[in-house]
A and B are shown apart, each in its own frame.
With several copies, the nearest count.
Chain A
Amino acid sequence: MIEVLYFAWVRERIGLPRETVQTGAQTVGELVEELRGREERYALAFSDLESLRVAVDQELAGFDAPLKGAREVAFFPPMTGG
């Protein structure tokens, strides 16, 4: 069980700010593959991984990051603070 969070247009495309996901995915990439397979809105949100950023347990990570022990994964576009 992992908490998956979505921000900005990722949140809008998926239609949810967060959800709890039952998954056996070993990496962020595998989790993305699972989510893509669910419904069109997920496939759309994850259609271009280059335009997405990932955080695992609130630290920036890559799509190859392992999920073992992770409680929280977040997907969002490049940040625009400041």
Chain B
Amino acid sequence: MDVRVQSADFDSGAELSGFIARQQAAPVGATVSFTGIVRDLPGGGLQRMVIEHYPGMTERAIAAMVGQARARWSLADCLVIHRYGEMRPGETIMMVATASAHRADAFAAADFLMDYLKSRAPFWKQEITAEGTAWVAARDEDEAALQRW
């Protein structure tokens, strides 16, 4: 299990290679990854995104989600990397990777972790355009997605 909260950019493909490589002693069969990328606003014009977080609580909240995922599904390993600070369109915001003997478990755990990271980890996104700065509003569907679990 590996959880990293960092401001530095990272390459999710390189992280996926490393994650799979560290399973080599006991290859697991199924690995699922999710990568979140900063996308531009619908009409364009996003200059940058800034993510604020709550140091200490962030790590605790993510560790708790990972613990829930491990209790619920058969997971050999799991990786969560989430950035904070400034990033530009096209940069990687975060990633999740799960490894399991069973593809259904790897998919479900990654999907679960994403839903929880969206609404239960203390991160707040801010979008900066030529017009100014705006906090991204939480979406009702992200909160509703938690009911699936």
By beta carbon, the residue of chain B nearest A81 is: B123
Given A81-B82, A81-B122, 11 other A-B contacts at CB below 8 A?
A: A7-B52, A7-B124, A58-B56, A59-B60, A60-B120, A76-B122, A77-B135, A79-B118, A80-B137, A81-B123, A82-B36
Look across to chain A and name the residue whose beta carbon is closest to the beta carbon of B139: A80
Q: How many residues of B contact A (CB 8 A)?
A: 30
Q: For A45, what are the chain B residues with a Cβ–Cβ distance below 8 Å?
A: none
| Interchain Cβ contacts under 8 Å between A and B, 26 examples | A5-B54, A7-B54, A7-B122, A8-B135, A9-B135, A11-B52, A55-B54, A55-B122, A58-B57, A59-B60, A74-B54, A74-B57, A76-B54, A77-B124, A77-B138, A78-B119, A78-B138, A78-B143, A79-B121, A79-B138, A80-B138, A81-B82, A81-B94, A81-B117, A81-B123, A82-B118
Kindly identify, within residues 105 to 141 of chain B, every residue whose CB is under 8 Å from any CB belonging to chain A: 114, 117-126, 135-138
Number of A-B contacts (CB under 8 A): 74
Contact A80 B54 (CB under 8 A): no
Interface string of B82-100 (1 = CB under 8 A from A): 1000000000011000000
Compute how far the CA of A40 lies from the CA of B143 in the bound complex, rounded to whole angstroms: 31
Interface residues on A, range: 10 to 19
B-side interface mostly: mixed
Question: How many angstroms between the C-alpha atoms of A82 and B84 in the bound complex?
Answer: 11
Q: Report B46-65 CB contacts with A as 1/0, cut-off 8 Å.
A: 00000111101100110000
Q: Considering the complex of A and B, which 10 residue pairs feature the smallest CB-CB distances, nearest first?
A: A81-B123, A78-B138, A82-B118, A58-B57, A8-B124, A82-B117, A81-B121, A80-B125, A80-B136, A81-B117
